[in-house]
Amino acid sequence: MIAHRCEGLDVAPRPYADPVLSQVNGLSRHFTEDTLRAYLLARSARADNGCLIVRGYGSQRGVHQKLAGRAWAHIAAYVVFVGGYDPTLEVHHDCGAPDCIEPTHLRQLSHADNCRERTQRPRCRNGHEREVEPATGRLRRVCRTCNRLAQKRWRERQAAEVAKARATYGRASS
């Protein structure tokens, strides 16, 4: 153990309350297995599809969530709910929801196996059906409907700016 100097005193770093939790990177040291389990359950809600969706830091949903310090919620959930965590492996979501901490939906895989298991979602984040790219036979990365709507909004903003500039310089819009 490395000692740190603090105002002339030798102070040893505070150990984890539970040695199992020391394997989780970024996890706050004050948690025990029981308190972390209660914390995760208090910050989560059951979805209709059976997923246990956790609310982490930030406003984005549908992405991996960080909580309990700087730890990923799904990794902390795997440690306390499933057990047998191996830090050299990745935690994979069988349900495909990155913010799910349901223990039956989590399993550990190597990085290569995790990449192979990853599937493309059939709908974009706005709910539009994704099209198949004819050249590759895979789903397109960019949703054409979302792209078309974004371009339309951009053209409307540009037209409004041009009209405003013309009005400022005394020219009527054509």
Mean pLDDT of 94-112: 86
DSSP code of residue 132: B
Does position 3 have pLDDT exceeding 70, yes or no? no
Per the CB < 8 A criterion, the answer to whether 78 and 91 are in contact is yes
Mean pLDDT of 41-47: 86
How much is the mean pLDDT over the chain?
A: 78
Mean pLDDT of 82-103: 85
- CA-CA distance, 97 to 82, in Å (whole number)? 18
DSSP code of residue 88: T
Segment (H or E) for 36: helix 33-42
Q: What is the pTM assigned to this prediction? A: 0.59
Q: What is the pLDDT of residue 11?
A: 47
- CA-CA distance, 5 to 42, in Å (whole number)? 38
- Four-residue CA torsion sign, 50, 123, 76, 103: positive
